[in-house]
Amino acid sequence: MKRKIEHFKAFVRNKKIAVLGVGISNRPLIRYLSGIGCSITAFDRLPADDPVIIRTRQEFAAEKIELTWSLGADYLSRLSGYDLIFRTPQMRRDLGELVSERNRGAVITSEMEVFMELCPAPVIGITGSDGKTTTTTLIAMMLEKAGHKVHLGGNIGTPLLDRVETIQTSDQVVLELSSFQLMSMRKSPQTAVITNISPNHLDIHKD
């Protein structure tokens, strides 16, 4: 698995990378990619004078992380010519800008998709229409009580990609996964838990 991580680093190094959204899940991703030596443009719909953006830019500057920024309502209009694009889980995959870049040859992925490919430990994935967070929390607590080293992530807990090199094969990874995250995921968890299924997000899941 270490070889797989090194292969990923070699693949992304010196690539032109776009990170769409600088929220909680993508900030650790930016730090991880910056540490590898990637050229990163951060995209966000918030304007440059938004307090969240100002604070985020100050944090990255203090950490000596150099980024190009594309901000504001038309932030995706500058999404062109990238090798690798990390989208937020909530972002629709059929957005015109993403479709255009995908057709051009860009790789469209997410922090969670890459983590699933690189994670050396067995993964328990929890999804469903309701009860995901409660079920995920209970499973993590039971595993910890049984003496396992547990990493909690996905829609709950902390983004895990920047920690993937510290995860051991003997650890347990417990992820809450939304339907949006699962839509484009190529690798399945070793154990899957489905809490229930009911009509939800039918504007996205049309068929």
- For residue 150, the enclosing domain spans 113-194
Q: What is the pLDDT of residue 169?
A: 95
Question: Domain check: are 32 and 105 in the same one?
Answer: yes
Predicted TM-score (pTM) of this structure: 0.86
Structural contact between residues 36 and 118, judged by C-beta atoms closer than 8 angstroms: no
Q: Which residues of 7-32 are buried (b: 16+ CB within 10 A; e: fewer)?
A: ebbeebeebebbbbbbeebbbbbbbb
Domain boundary among 109, 137, 159: 109
Beta strands 84-86; 150-154: pairing state: unpaired
Domain limit, last residue, from 89, 109, 129: 109
Residue 207 lies in a domain: no
Q: Which residues of the chain have pLDDT under 50?
A: none
The pair of structure tokens assigned to 99 is 């479709």
Q: What is the CATH number of the domain that holds 66?
A: 3.40.50.720
Contact 79, 97 (CB under 8 A): yes
pLDDT recorded at residue 90: 77
Domain boundary among 50, 80, 109: 109
Q: What CATH number has the domain bearing residue 135? A: 3.40.1190.10
